[in-house]
Structure 1
Amino acid sequence: MTQQTDFLMKRTLCRLLLVVTLGTVSFGALADTDDAPILEGERFNPVIGQHGMVATSNQLASRIAHQVLSEGGNAVDAAVTAGFALAVTQPRSGNIGGGGFMLISDEKSDKVISIDYREKAPSGAWRTMFQDENGDVVEQRSRFSANASGVPGTVAGLALALDRYGTLSLAEALKPAIRLARDGFVVVPRFADGLQAAAERLRQWDATRNKFYKSNGGFYQPGDVFRQPELADTLQRIADHGVDEFYRGKTADLIVKTIQSHGGIMTREDLANYQPVVRQPVHGTYRGYDIYSMGPPSSGGVHIVQILNIIENDDIGAMGFNSAATMHLMSEAMSRAYADRSKYLGDPDFVDVPVQALTSKAYARSLRQQIDMHHATPASDLGPGNPTRYESNETTHFSVADDSGLAVSNTYTLNFSYGSGLTVAGAGFLLNNEMDDFSSKPGVPNAYGLIGGEANAIEGNKRMLSSMSPTIVKHDGRNFLITGSPGGSRIITTTLEVISNVIDHHMNVQSAVSVPRFHDQWLPDEIRIEQGISPDTIERLESMGHKVVKKDAMGASQSILIRDDGTFTGGADPRRSTSSAMGL
């Protein structure tokens, strides 16, 4: 069976199973498996809506958020409800055991704010906790142990957004997720395939094995109903008693008991002291558009603005979509931004991040002058720049917009698919392994190959650096593009390319999220590409000195574009078989 035939069979089965669960479903994009190619001949037409739009990586969550909008809820209500629903239906990345970032744009007040609900290191964390007696990093400790988890922020972050900007109560926003957890949902191929692929890692934990695999040890198959009674009880406790239940009540006790029983250091005080933070987003401009994205402790917004600044004075549209010239220039800009990331980015509550300098047009001009349009710059010849002289920073993403002028861009994560793999016994949810996003040893790459420095060294109560980049683009004061993506180190470049595809290449939103992508993160010294890049382009890039490596699909951008006439258009990324955009 060819990869394409296998994909078509899975897509058809996925759609039939969703009809069983939901009734008739609206699909925003043709679905694709995580590593399959984008099919030749697919038509990239966006979903249209007059009053609002939802784009998530899961049809069930999209349907639920769409219903919230249709019943009079605003974009924040729909986003928070979707976030909790994804914690039930997409446990590989949707979560209440992880954390993330949310951007909210309100046209009426002309304000854009960000909510930082990134996880924090336990107070007892120390700089060398993931090193052995010889000072070498032990990867297992930061990725698959009880100490791999930061203090979760999702429940507090979503509740804060709802309290300040929504109209629903927390109990109302949790109701659909509780129902899905209690009554169950029909398993689709991506859900079943993910658990089978991760079985060896997940089965080592008793609570995880009992939750995700059948009593006889077998796998859930497409068409089965998957129920999560312990998770339903946890969500119901939060609905009944509020956020404090998760951080100070029975759920907190269960988290601490699970972690400490496996040798972890997180305490009840760590949970009780957790607070999300409202921050100012990073702001830049690109060809007359205002770019708002997440600032530190995310590196995403800083480097999206930085890269756009570097390429702004070149006519990217005339150079051509995914031409050798465009890919060369953008990869050179990407490489310089990631080099800066390795030195300057970290938690702004602990280190001074030179955001204004890194995002200044003057610094970008100095970097652009270094780029030879005919020859690649070897990574060994690059390093962090000197921005201070220019002073004046498995994941899932979803986007929601309504006709009152509210737009939400949210990215949250457990880090790896299924996080650390450790399920909280008695509570029914997975814990993150975000501690691997710290620099376990400055200068040593993490799981995504990213180099970190002193700014991102491990400290108690510190937020680890992230690449998550929820982004909202505005034009003439109005919300224009709501975007973002999962993908580890590729989040930044995926989001960047969606923006460029819309502004430079005038693509509709479905095309912008569907076409082939590329990525350069300085180290390793290569351009990573998806299937679909022209062989002639690859040959030209190689003649310029680039190493070009074809790998699996990158990211899954769920995006919304609002036209000048107020029409909402949604693009659901075909790289996820469950992606869906729904208009109102």
Structure 2
Amino acid sequence: MSRLVALPLSVLMLLNFVLSANGGNDPTRVRTGMVVSQSDIASQVGVEVMQEGGNAVDAAVATALAMAVTHPTAGNIGGGGFLIFRPNDGEPTAFDFREKAPAAAHPEMWLNEKGEYDYQRHHESHKAVGVPGTVAGLHLAWKTHGKLPWKRLVEPAVRLAADGFVVGDGLERSLKEQIDRFEKYPASLAQFTKDGKPYLAGDLLKQPDLARTLERIRDQGPAGFYEGETAELLVKDMEANGGLITLEDMKSYTAQQRTPLRGTYRGYDVIGMCPPSSGGVGVIEMLNILEGYDVRAAGAGSAANLHRMAEAMRRSFADRAQYLGDPDFNPEMPVARLISKEHAAELRKTIDESAASISTPESFEWAYESDETTHFSVVDGDRNAVSMTYTLEYAYGSAITVPGAGFILNNEMGDFNAAPGMTTTGGLIGTKPNLALPKKRMLSSMSPTIVVKDGELFMVTGSPGGRTIINTVLQTILNVVDHEMNAQEAVDAGRIHHQWLPSRIQYENQGFSPDTLAILRGLGHELYPIDKQGSAEVIVVNAKTGQLEGGVDRRRPDGGAAGY
């Protein structure tokens, strides 16, 4: 069951919300509106917004800000992400609030004085922090499509931070794992430990500095974050620790409204995120390749389908590395060709159904991209839908809490390539489209996705997981469309991942039979077991009953599907 927060938040007193707590494969079912996220508390906050007359965008804003308090692993105001909104009676739109590089950024900024690559500088320093985009993006989405007052949407997060909420099992484990990182930064240690000792499940976590920052955002909008006291506190910390973000970098940040990508799969319309996310390109390109096979007949989890998926993933990730980056800096990206049926047909011809392809280091390599992102899905009573994924990059981002402001900073600059031409077997890449430049947005794998059937909303999906995001989202769609799984079954099913190099299939070690794995090895695939991949949060509209079905990913605790 849900944990109640220790404050008089009316959403927690509702009797007519539904919270996912089943242990089987039945989805949460409701008739009107639903939020599915990695924070059961935040899901409830979003539902109350809809019950008060707010739409899916209003609920998404409130949910995201609440997660900045209750899910500090990835929920944030110090990071960035993407939001796709599909109104029931209009064209879908996308909001890009990916972080930007500071004005002082340059392609060689990750090299030390000897010209050698410095991992710590790239991923674990104040220089690794990009200009945050979440507040600007949420406000732009609300200003464009929201209904309720901005202050109403921010207020639940303010109260959760000021009055506290009860720590759950998942957050307890997560905070314990980060204590060594927090110890480097006094403000982080003070905020996320009790005098240096970890919070335990059942403890009340209050964040007064974060509450005051959220109050400024509530009362002043984006100016309460990008200007004035909050911006000054952030820049003061940058100046004291060799960071690059200036007051002008903060003030000049803008989120951007973009046109999402459109594809089709077996009669379904697929709406995905455009660059600087690679997610929409990847999902649509792989679906196009797989459309040429009888996926349903081969069966869910079969070796034949896993082989085909791995080969489609391998080819899509090669395209990703070669072509994709920030569209404002790479205007000639061949996106239309990459998501075309013709391109998929050509790639399909290169797949041998009796043998794995060979990936070599001379082709493409990818730098590390963290698993710690978060996704949530929202559908309101009018069947408006939001799919939103946002992140700090690593778990707790840089682990740097802004002193006096109470929020964690991202380390998204680590998603830029290491240096021009620096491609190594160890995982570095130096291709031009994703090198650091002033005000450039770094390439992402976030893949918020909406699926439509015959003009009606059908599915909202997405996941965290670094580059595995694209493949996790792909598999949730295949599970529902081809294998006719319900939302929870689609989320629970075993997952695989292939990203060209390293040349192997990563698979969940409890998700597939030994016989299936043996067949894949016989085809020439190297296999690499992992415990879990991603955390998909899915809503499916049941066309027969009209109900919303919520699938909560139980690979990570503390999540919930709330609805009414």
Shift of 1:532: 2.0
Change (3 A) 1:185 1:550: same
- Give the structure 2 partner of residue 308 of structure 1: 287
1-structure distance, mates of 2:405, 2:166: 22
1:62-77 to 2 correspondences below 5 Å: 62-77=43-58
Question: Hey, what does 2:368 align to over in structure 1?
Answer: none
User: Which residue in 2 is equivalent to 1:61?
Assistant: 42
Query: Of 329, 333, 341, which aligns to 2:312?
Result: 333
> Per-residue CA shift, 1:6-44, capped at 9, x if unaligned?
xxxxxxxxx4744878468843255xxxxxxxxxxx521
The 5 A counterparts of 1:441-460 are 441-442=419-420, 451=429, 453-460=431-438
1:18-33 alignment runs, 5 A limit: 18=4, 22=12, 26-28=18-20, 30=22
Is 1:258 aligned to residue 237 of structure 2? Answer: yes
CA displacement, residues 545-581 of structure 1 (integer Å, 9 cap, x when unaligned): 0001111211101110112243211111111211111
2:477 pairs with one of 477, 482, 499 = 499
**Quick check: 1:104–1:113 contact (8 Å CA) kept in 2?**
yes
What residue in structure 1 maps to residue 108 of structure 2?
Answer: 128
Deviation at 1:450, TM superposition (A): 7.5
1:371 CA displacement: 0.3
- Whether the 8 Å contact between 1:450 and 1:523 is mirrored in structure 2 is no
CA RMSD of aligned residues (A): 1.8
Tell me which of 261, 264, 267 is aligned to 1:288.
Answer: 267
- Aligned residue for 2:500? 522
CA distance 1:450–1:361, change in 2 (3 Å): farther
User: Taking structure 1 as the reference length, what is the TM-score of the superposition?
Assistant: 0.91
Q: For residues 50-77 of structure 1, what are the alpha-carbon distances to aligned partners after superposition, in whole Å with 9 as ceiling and x for unaligned?
A: 1111101111001111111122211111
Please list the CA deviations of residues 511-566 of structure 1 after superposition, one character each: whole Å capped at 9, or x if unmatched: 10111100000111110000221100100000000001111211101110112243
Q: 1:484 aligns with which of 452, 459, 462?
A: 462
Corresponding residue of 1:8? none
Paired-residue identity, %: 47
Match of 1:52?
Answer: 33
Measure the CA separation in 1 of the matches of 2:273 and 2:538.
Answer: 16
Whether 2:88 is the aligned partner of 1:107: answer yes
User: Residue by residue, what CA displacement relative to the aligned partner does 1:473-511 show, whole Å, maximum 9, x if unpaired?
Assistant: 111111110000000010000000000100010100111
Cα distance in 1, alignment partners of residues 212 and 425 from structure 2: 34
What CA distance in whole angstroms lies between the structure 1 residues aligned with 2:245 and 2:260?
Answer: 30
Gaps of 5+ in 2: 365-371
Shift of 1:248: 1.4
Q: Deviations over 1:236-271 (max 9, x none)?
A: 111112211211111111111111111111100001
Structure 1 stretches lacking a partner, 5+ long: 1-14, 31-41, 385-393
User: Structure 1 residues 345, 199: CA separation in 2 closer, same or farther (over 3 Å shift)?
Assistant: same
Partner of 1:225: 204
CA distance in 2, matches of 1:210, 1:403: 42
Q: Describe how 1:38-437 pairs up with structure 2 within 5 A.
A: 43-109=24-90, 111-215=91-195, 217-351=196-330, 352-380=332-360, 383=363, 394-437=372-415
Amino acid at match of 1:127: P
Report the counterpart of residue 5 of structure 1 in structure 2.
none
Q: What does the per-residue CA deviation read over 1:200-221, in whole Å, with 9 as the maximum and x for residues that have no partner? A: 1121111111111112x21111
Instruction: Give me the TM-score of the superposition, normalised by structure 2.
Output: 0.94
Residue pair 2:4, 2:165 contacting (<8 A) in 1 also: no
After TM superposition, what 4+ stretches of structure 1 lie above 6 angstroms from structure 2?
445-448
User: What is the deviation of 1:442?
Assistant: 4.8
Q: Distance in 1 between matches of 2:210 and 2:296?
A: 49
Offset at residue 133 of structure 1 (A): 3.2
Cα distance between partner residues in 1 of 2:73 and 2:426: 17
AA aligned to 1:177 is A
Q: Which amino acid aligns with 1:205?
A: Y
Is this contact kept in 2: 1:490–1:554, CA < 8 A? Answer: yes
Question: AA paired with 2:501?
Answer: L
Residues 447 and 297 (structure 1), Cα distance of their counterparts in 2 relative to 1, 3 Å cut: farther
On the 8 A contact 1:342/1:450 being kept in 2, the answer is no
